[in-house]
Structure 1
């Protein structure tokens, strides 16, 4: 039986593993299909403290993994199909294997919803982004597109005007879904232009990178290319919580609900950290901070709920 199992290897999961390992908890970390999380698809990271010259995303995650290993973390490759949190020890099903664990830390993250059009995936990190806060700085004095019509899109577009020379909002309908106050704020910004009633068709690239976005005009049926140096996708995120269905309390969007100010979930002994429980900030540093919180919450839980105590009560 494992004392603590961590599902996920992004900044949250690896930080939790570092703290747990240093407390002699000997955590087992389950790596998914994309070890390292979203940062492994990012190029240069300039906003993670401690790296004044920046650091490549994959290098940062590899360093965190080595640090966790150094203190005694073990890693297991595999995909968690489901969990059984109905009683302790909890059960984690990885492929055809069943793992029992006294406590569980969930840090499976969230994925940005993408458009699913040609040229998009291969341009992630090379002109296409789903995080203005992360990447806006790299587009100073550039022409940008923001795809989306909700509050997130208005927020991203407004933020990007701090750097870009021009930001055009692209939305498939003639009306926005964003709240009235967010719309008004965006419409009052002189740097924000509008391309409504246009459906994204393809990310247009050349040998230098992103050149623009091919769109179809809903009114005329004609296609055109909106020229831009960068494209920001702002159509929401999907937390990776399908395997938790019926096991933990989730909010309406599928994020794990935690007790405010903690990482405690609706099941004692199960903790959630990182983007899987954070629909607001979604930053590497906030994920890492919540990973530390999860480790400390987990340690305190295990100190007050020794295996012998709860096994006798079952």
Structure 2
């Protein structure tokens, strides 16, 4: 589903931008839309377009759109940003930046990107941890999900699903799914849980949640979609195949915290970029939005990422105005000339 295969035209070396937005998911593209509406010359740099949306098939919780294919939603975000004349450059991976004496940033990438920006918005997201078992990649978006809160409604009336994990997200997912499906198997590699005791007690009270402990999923099977999972008990070595309609992998995220630290960005204990309510980081002129931030860590949604992207763009605009770095310009958007 990803748009990463269609490389875009090279960006001229030394090109000047008001803001470089690092990341092409909902947060980054939303930031681009709003930045361009503020008439900021914006560049989106991304390894791929879509972010976490590339791991799912459909979305039914984005306001106003009802149920929509994730690929179609990605394309709508991208076209909207391009309608406002944002430049979107991919596949490219920003390697870092340096602060120049005049306050600008020199931003470089692996494929030769070398541009200047007055501000930066980090919207690189985070990577969901994967099981790394046969069938996981093949059935991504076809019964393999990484977000129970996002995809639970798609399983309404189904017979059974598996939830993998022992933290809050896994338990919240299992509890939510228990209201949609007849049977939920909660598979965890240990007998102890990281989840809050409240969630554990609620899950235990649900008659249709079965705990499969000291166990790991070793394979995901099916034809066109997930049909069963193979589970192995770590202590006995015994395996069993469970027929299911889907599997929800809720084992956490991995933000690129070492890279963040190298850039000088302050992070929380889990490695997410610390931001305030206006998406400002500890580095003046650098903002962050979406799943890479410390904001709302237990609720990663398209709508929240898009909201953070909009706020980050607004903060960037205000920063440039306050610093005297904003130069009014004309913008031809949809056949209409806007001028500040």
TM-score scaled by length of structure 1: 0.92
Does residue 100 of structure 2 align to residue 100 of structure 1? Answer: no
SS in 2 for 1:152: helix
Query: Any stretches of 5+ residues in structure 1 without a counterpart?
Result: 309-314
Determine the C-alpha separation between the residues in 1 that align with 2:134 and 2:105.
42
Determine the C-alpha separation between the residues in 2 that align with 1:237 and 1:93.
26
Aligned to 2:81: 68
Q: Post-superposition shift, 1:177?
A: 2.7
Q: Post-superposition shift, 1:182?
A: 2.1
1:157 pairs with 174, 179, 190, which one? 174
Contact 1:80 1:243 in 2 (8 A): no
Determine the C-alpha separation between the residues in 1 that align with 2:148 and 2:55.
15
Aligned to 2:71: 58
SS in 1 for 2:107: strand
Determine the C-alpha separation between the residues in 2 that align with 1:98 and 1:83.
9
Query: Any stretches of 5+ residues in structure 2 without a counterpart?
Result: 1-15, 327-340
2:231 pairs with 206, 211, 215, which one? 215
Q: Post-superposition shift, 1:136?
A: 0.3
Change (3 A) 1:66 1:193: same
**1:209-266, Cα deviation, whole Å (9 max, x unpaired):** 111211211232122112211100011111245432231101111111001x221111
Change (3 A) 1:86 1:238: farther
Aligned to 1:45: 59
Aligned to 2:330: none
Q: Post-superposition shift, 1:59?
A: 1.3
Aligned to 2:208: 191
Give the structure with the higher percent helix: 1
Aligned to 1:233: 249
TM-score scaled by length of structure 2: 0.85
Q: Which deviates more, 113-122 or 71-80?
A: 71-80
Aligned to 1:115: 131
Does residue 181 of structure 2 align to residue 181 of structure 1? Answer: no
Aligned to 1:244: 260
Q: Post-superposition shift, 1:137?
A: 0.4
Aligned to 1:311: none
Determine the C-alpha separation between the residues in 2 that align with 1:130 and 1:85.
37
Change (3 A) 1:183 1:85: farther
